[in-house]
Each structure stands twice: as C-alpha cells, then as structure tokens.
Chain A
Amino acid sequence: MRRNGPLALIFHVIFVIIMVAPILVVCLVAFTPEGYLSLPTNGFSLRWFRTIANYPEFIHAFWVSLGLGALSSFVALMFAVPAALSIARYRFRGRDALAALFLSPLMIPHVVLGIAFLRFFTSAGLGGSFAALIIAHVIIVFPFALRLTLAAATGMDLSVEMAAVSLGAGGWTLFRRVTLPLILPGVISGWALAFIQSFDDLTMTVFLAAPGTETLPVRMFLYIQDNIDPLVTSVSACVIAITMTALILLDRFYGLDRVLAGKGDTGR
C-alpha cells in the first residue's frame, strides 16, 4: 500500500490536535492556581482539586453514579444473558423482532426516553427515586450488555456443552460450570461497556434525578448552567482520568477495538 504524503500527514496532525484540544484544555485549566479560568501560566497548583472536598454534593453524586452504573449494568446482564443465549442458539418466530426491540434503546433519542420515564415513574409514585434511576438505566444499557454477550455466545463451541450433557450435567450446573465460564469475557466486557454508558449518561438522567439522586454528569451540568469556574474543570479532569483508566483496563482485558465496534453501530 502507498504511504501517506506530506499533505495527508499535515491534515492528520491538525485533525488529532483538534480532537485532543478540548480534553487537554480542561485538564490544563484544572491545574490553575488562580481563582478564575486561565491556563496555568505561573505554576501548577492542586488548589481546585482540594476544593472538590468542600463540595460534598459532587462527591455524593460520584458515589451515586458509581453505584447506579455498577448495579444497573449487573441487573441488565441478568436479563441479557438468557436473552442472548436464546437469540444466539435458536431460530424461532419473532426472533428478529425481539432482537430489534432489545436494541431499540439505541435508536430512541435519550431525551424522549427521559420524558417517557419521568412521566411513567411519576405516575407510579417513584419520581426522583434511586429505584427509578436503576430501572431506567437498565433499559438504556441493555443493548450494550446484550451485544457483547451475544457476540460471545455466537462464537461459543457448542460441542463442549454437548460433552458436558453427555457426562450428565444439566440445567443450572451446565450453565454455571460450562456455559457461563465460556462466555464470561463477553459478559464482563458487556458489563464494563454498560457501566461506561450508564456513568456518562446525562440526557436521560437529567429528567429523572432529584436532589439526593443526582449523578455526577447531572451535577456537573447543573453547575455549568450557573457558572463555569475552575472547580468544574478539576471535577471533569477527575472524570477524564477515571475513564482513561477504565479504557486502559478494558483494552487489556478485551481489546478496545471490539468494544468500540459494538458502540459504533449506535443509531442504526
């Protein structure tokens, strides 16, 4: 294959700078020693990272996000694993329609989902509760949990299961000792991707969260609406650092390209 010419490389460098610039500038401004937004010109300071400690609502929101992401991804998998096994192995009437339904939260705008859940949970007397947030997040992360589990279940060697059946394993033992270990990498990656989706969601959650159940993106968004100061950049820098760590772990464990390829079909 031909090499890239100098013009192509210049384009590439500018492109990458533009892609990285907004993320970089948030992290740089977070280290400012000044009391206002500025690039750190006279020395780096951790002042604004220490300030986060004075804002318990940010710390509380972080724990809400963490718990919500972990729990809703786990619950989504409880539903997604059997569904994925069924879709991967059986051909039955309604199979394609079911798969389309299960992937549909990717196609429905999150603002519409937010409104629908707000209306639904308010009528059900659960408005603003953590339980409502969990159920809503289970729905939006379900496609991601299903996709990666499905990929693992589709590629599974069924003769192993047959061997186990011939040796007398069945039902729950078969699932716990044979099937689950074989699809586990897909299940864990599905959980991780679902967690990231849940952790990042703003558009739907902003409709459902009440004071006390605000997630970190919601808290940050509401804060930015009033004023942009270095505090919110230091919080963002922490979020970016956490995401990067998760990304590196995910890359080691499963391969980021496979995870992202699963995400790239969003909206189709």
Chain B
Amino acid sequence: MTAVADTAPQSAARERGPRTPWALTAPALLLFVGVLLIPLAMTVMLSFHDWGQYKGIEPVFILKNWHEIATDPYYAEMFWRTFRIAILTTLLTAVLGAPEAYILNRMSGRWKSFFLLVILGPLLISVVARTLGWALLFGGNNGLVNKLLMSLGVIRAPIPFMFTETGMVVALAHVMMPFMVLSVWAALQRLDPQIENAAMSLGAGPVTIIRRIIMPQIMPGVLSGAIIVFSLSASAFATPAIIGGRRLKVAATLAYDEFLNTLNWPLGAAVATLLLVALILIVVGSNALIERRYAEVFR
C-alpha cells in the first residue's frame, strides 16, 4: 500500500540523534494537520449542521441531512448512477486498455516509446480540453461520432451522447485510459517472455497462451488499474459536468451544486462525506482482496 521503498537506515547522519527524522518532517506534518486534517474534520462536522433558506447554517448537531440522503430516493438514484458510470468506465478501460498494453509491449523499441507517449501524454493535458473534444465529437445528433458510426453501418439511428450516461462513460473512459494502460504495462514488465515461448514450444495456440499464460499474470495489473480508474471515475467532476449538463447529476456535481448554487453547505458536505467514506471502503476492501488473492505475485 505505501509506496515508500524500504531502505536500510545506513546513514552518516544517524549520529545526529533520534530526533532528527521528526525535526525534518515536522513542518510538513504541521502543514498537513493544520490545513488537511482539520478542514476534513470540519467538513464531517458541517454535515451534521442545520440549514435553512433564510437562517443559513446553524451550528447544531442534527441528523437531518443524513436522514434526507437516506430516505429521499433522489440521492439513492444519484449515487447508484455515480457508481454505475464508474463501473462501466472501469470495464471499458480494462477491456480495451489491457489488450492495447499487451500489443504495445510487443512492439519494437522506437515504436513502443512513441506510442506509449501518444497514449500516456493525454494524462497531463487539461481534462477540460479533453472533455471539450468529446463534446465537439458528440455534438448533438449529427456529431462526427454518429456520422461515422452510421456511415460504417454500425448503427441505423444516431445515438444521443450529449447529456446521457453513454456519453459520460465514453468520455470518462478516454480520460482514465492512460491509468489502465500504465498499470497493465507495469505488470507486463515483470512477465518473462520466455514463458510464452515455452508454452508455444509445448504446442499451445495463441488463444491458449493468452488465456492460460498471459491473463493470469497481468490480472493483478488489470485489477490495480481498475481500482484507480474506479475511484477516480466515481469522484470525477469535469467530465460529468460538461457531458452531463445540469440535468444528469453525479455525486461530485451534486455536491458542487449544493455548495455554489443552492448554498445548502451542510447537505453538500454530507454528500461529499458519504462519497469519501464509500470510496475509501471500496478501495481499501478491494486492495485487501486482491493482495490476498495474488499474494504470491506481489511478493
């Protein structure tokens, strides 16, 4: 889980005393407690406060917002939509990203690094610009995507992409794809190419090799990529806001609306807290499952 390599404490500076490591981390620790942990705690507190159209925020302890989220089917539907979109996005990136990483890995040197750059580069380009690109490609019922699909005979009638979940999933999958490719790519680097040759020499066909040799070995990569894509998609803001418009709300865009349009901060804080808790539970839970299932691969 932690990304810190285990390094031996072989250090010339060790004689400086046991307080040195704390003295060096103290500024950062103070910063994190002061401007990260305290604001997060304040947000959780805020979700228990009362709010009224005219009286504003009242610092009392009530369960009103939580009760509203638990009983009003609007919130259940919105959270279900959020996680449905995240799951579909994750599946789409896995189904397309894993084979692409495999193909990339088999390319020769120069092509490999070129296409890796082409596929991973978008990771660093503004999400607003990338989503804008999809909005242009979708563009109503006679957008480029629909024209292309119809001229290829894939579909008869145009599919509505803008302001629909379909459009959100396609655009989000594009935004998240680099994470999946990168994750599977990392798993492929650990794979011994000789195993593939050995399987071939023993008479295995290409389908058998992929199913029995490659798939089991890159599965941890696919799964850890899936966790990243899922958690980022479930909390995505820009893409759902631009493609979904004002009608189709997900958790992040709803919280934004409560905070900056309706001004019901306590309710928005409750939505955000629920999203944070749900995501932490899902990510930590699936990480534990994967690590137990693939203990030998991670060793």
Q: A residues engaging B (CB < 8 A)?
A: 1-5, 8-9, 11-12, 15-16, 18-26, 29, 37, 78-80, 82-83, 85-92, 95-96, 98-105, 107-112, 115-120, 123, 135-136, 138-139, 142, 147, 150, 154, 158, 161-162, 165, 196, 199-200, 202-203, 206-207, 217, 220-221, 224-225, 228, 232-233, 236, 239-240, 243-244, 246-247, 251, 256-257, 260-261, 263-268
Residue of B nearest to A89 (CB): B11
| Known contacts A12-B103, A20-B118; A266/B228 CB under 8 A | yes
A111 pairs with B275, CB closer than 8 A: yes
Q: Does B166 interact with chain A (Cβ within 8 Å)?
A: no
B130 pairs with A203, CB closer than 8 A: no
B256 pairs with A117, CB closer than 8 A: no
B2 pairs with A96, CB closer than 8 A: yes
- Choose from A92, A123, A150 the contact partner of B18 (Cβ within 8 Å): A92
Residue of B nearest to A101 (CB): B32
A87 pairs with B128, CB closer than 8 A: no
Binds A, one of B38-46, B60-68, B72-80: B38-46
Quote the shortest CB–CB distance from A203 to chain B (angstroms).
Answer: 4
B119 pairs with A4, CB closer than 8 A: no
Residue of A nearest to B148 (CB): A21
Q: Inside 8 A of B182's CB, which chain A residues have their CB?
A: 260-261, 264
B25 pairs with A119, CB closer than 8 A: no
Chain B residues 268 to 282 lying within 8 A of chain A, measured CB to CB, are 268-269, 272-273, 275-276, 279-280
A18 to B22 CA separation, bound complex (whole angstroms):
49
Listed A/B pairs (19) with beta-carbon separation below 8 Å = A18-B174, A22-B131, A22-B132, A79-B28, A83-B29, A109-B234, A112-B43, A119-B46, A136-B35, A158-B10, A203-B237, A217-B126, A220-B132, A236-B133, A239-B125, A244-B125, A251-B117, A265-B3, A267-B283
Number of interface residues of B (CB under 8 A): 106
Q: Inside 8 A of B96's CB, which chain A residues have their CB?
A: 15
A48 to B166 CA separation, bound complex (whole angstroms):
31
Excluding A154-B5, A261-B186, 15 further A-B contacts by CB distance (< 8 Å) are A8-B103, A12-B103, A19-B118, A19-B177, A83-B24, A86-B21, A87-B4, A91-B9, A99-B2, A107-B280, A111-B252, A112-B272, A117-B35, A220-B126, A233-B136
B252 pairs with A203, CB closer than 8 A: yes
A240 to B127 CA separation, bound complex (whole angstroms):
10
Quote the shortest CB–CB distance from A226 to chain B (angstroms).
Answer: 11
- Choose from A111, A119, A244 the contact partner of B235 (Cβ within 8 Å): A111
A131 to B157 CA separation, bound complex (whole angstroms):
52
A220 pairs with B128, CB closer than 8 A: yes
Q: Inside 8 A of A268's CB, which chain B residues have their CB?
A: 1, 3, 224, 227-228, 287
